[in-house]
Amino acid sequence: MSSRRSAILAAICLVFIFALYHVSNVPGSASTAVVEQETAEKAITSTLTTEKEKTPLSRPTSEKETSSTEVLSPEVLTYFDQVFSADKPKAYDFPALKAACEQTKWAEDEVYLQCGGMSAGLTSIMSQIKVCLKMAVETGTSIILPSMPLRDSKDLQNFNFMNGDAYLTYEEWFDASHLMEQIGHYCPKMKILHPIQLDGQGASGVAVKNKWSIDLGKAPGFKVFSSYFWAGRPFKAFFEQQYTDLEGMASLSPDRDETKKGITVISIASSFLLFRITDDPTGQDLRLWNDLGQLIRFRDAPRKIISKLLPLMERPFYGVHFRAENDTIWSSPENQLKLDLEALDTAWAKYGTPNGQKPLVYLACGDQDQVEMFATAGKAKGWDVTHKWKLAQGNAEVLKMINDLAFDFQGAVDMGIMVKSHFFLGIQGSAFSSTVGNARDVTGRYRGSSFTVYDDGNARTHLFNDGDARYGDASSLAPPKLKLKCLSMVPVEGEVVSVERPKLKWVAQVESKLDLKVVWAQYLESGENLYAAFVDRHSDEHRLRFELLLERQKLVVDTKAGYTAGSDVGEKGKV
């Protein structure tokens, strides 16, 4: 009896061992990889999963043997498809947007937000559009498609605030049909109007009953360029209080016309960094923010160029944002070059194959002279460097398409290619670099350098801290450029502020034109225009405040108070 039992146990063991051998058989690994590849590709169009459900793809053993599709997470590829694909993007169900819209109490009256104050470079404008959309979703209001000025492609510090001809409506910046189609499907209670439709203009004109404005400066403690609203201090509560006050004032107006019909348009500044997205412990705000980003799809030209350039790079490539254009505020091109080449070597040492062929380096830079400098230095270090103009040399049509684009839309081409790179290097203080870094992470937020974090989720990204990029080591110090940033508000026309310090003298003057106000400063020794800053046109505060950054020190000039303050206090400003 015992021998029979032993025989049965032996047979079971043999079956078990055979099964283990079968499922782990090495020759079957190729077919398994094909199944996993197909599963990953299908996941591109699936709903965003929670962080617990995400399993990062395993690290490849060789850069040469992998494509960016295999390296990057499905969520990143979904973002690329929605924003940059040449053809119509695959279906995506915008789960966070849909949930937020279903939870929102929508206004009974027809209330539309008309967001203003959107300006600066391409990725900054993209962020401000997301702010506008989030304000609308949170408050249950509709929107008027915004208009934004396109900055001067030759003088990047000229944001064209006072040039009415430079203002382009949304459909001239991005694919408006994509936005309207997705909003109509997943947030159907939000209506979208073109500004030309207001006041009954055009065949589909809409009558306007009320034109009101809300000043963000009335929020207690609010500061421009500082994140303010979050789940614990919702924008909705502030908006509803302001709206109630506006209704009350309108009801007391002697000019009120009770018979007038139409929509209510609320003008409001779509302030950069308005929301503290990551402070929501549930993660709902971040998921919504990521979905809003996938509504902003580029127009046909940059998408088509990207589709033509990517196949021309026949081996893996590392992307570098070389921020060396004439408006750079971080460091000299030479210092950035040194740090970038060191970081490329670090990335190759960590992710490359010993004695294997190095990846290409794709350079995102709008200055062709600086590009050539980088290419020459890179070659001396064993790196083959390419860029959009070089890749397009063999195709006159594509090269013309690139050169016909304004500077910021050329940046859209670089952005799409950076998202697809095997490794990305950038600068945290740059909106372009930060946008790419966020887009490459499965969470939608840059989690830290892939050189140091335990698990980068296959983001493969390193963003230099501003100080690292600006100063480097003592041997590569470049004279720091001054940065003038307008913090607030609406100044008095013709007002002049001057401040004198040792080796420093600058003047800021305010002018008014086309209902826009602009501020600039000059470093008087060189006559160089340092920075142009937009002043919030919707603010009621009549003061002007600047933050001047010089050699890691801060000087604040307040024209209302008439004194200077900061970490280097000690001198009176002449006001």
Could you state, in chain order, the average pLDDT of each consecutive group of 10 residues for the chain (575 residues)? 46 42 36 34 34 36 50 93 98 98 93 92 95 98 96 82 88 98 98 91 85 95 89 97 95 84 94 92 97 98 98 96 70 84 96 92 89 93 96 96 96 98 93 96 96 96 77 32 34 38 36 33 34 32 32 34 31 30
Q: State CA 153 to chain mean position distance.
A: 19
Pair 443, 305 in one domain: yes
Alpha-carbon dihedral angle through residues 453, 458, 461, 465, given to the nearest 10 degrees? -30
- Let me know whether 519 and 395 are in one domain: no
pLDDT at 284: 97
Show the domain range for 337: 300-476
**DSSP 8-state class, residue 157:** T
Amino acid at residue number 264:
T
Show the 3-state SS of 455-521. CCCCCCEEEECHHHHHHCCHHHCCCCCCEEEEEECCCCCCCEEEEEECCEEEEEEEEEECCEEEEEE
Amino acid 243 reads: Y
Q: Which two tokens stand for residue 523?
A: 């470093």
| pLDDT at residue 260, as a whole number | 86
CB 182 within 8 A of CB 137: no
Is residue 411 within 8 Å of residue 430, measured between CB atoms?
no
- Residue 41 has a pLDDT of 34
Q: Is residue 1 part of a domain?
A: no
**Residue 495 to residue 519: CA distance in whole angstroms:** 10
d(CA 385, CA 374): 8
Query: How does pLDDT run across 179-191, given as a tens digit for each residue?
Result: 999 999 999 999 9
Decide which of 259, 275, 293 is a domain's last residue.
Answer: 293
Domain boundary among 449, 476, 503: 476
Q: How many domains does the chain have?
A: 3
Cα 107 from Cα 118, distance rounded (Å): 25
Are 233 and 360 within one domain? no
Which of 476, 502, 535 terminates a domain? The answer is 476
Q: Is the pTM of this model over 0.85?
A: no
pLDDT of 450: 97
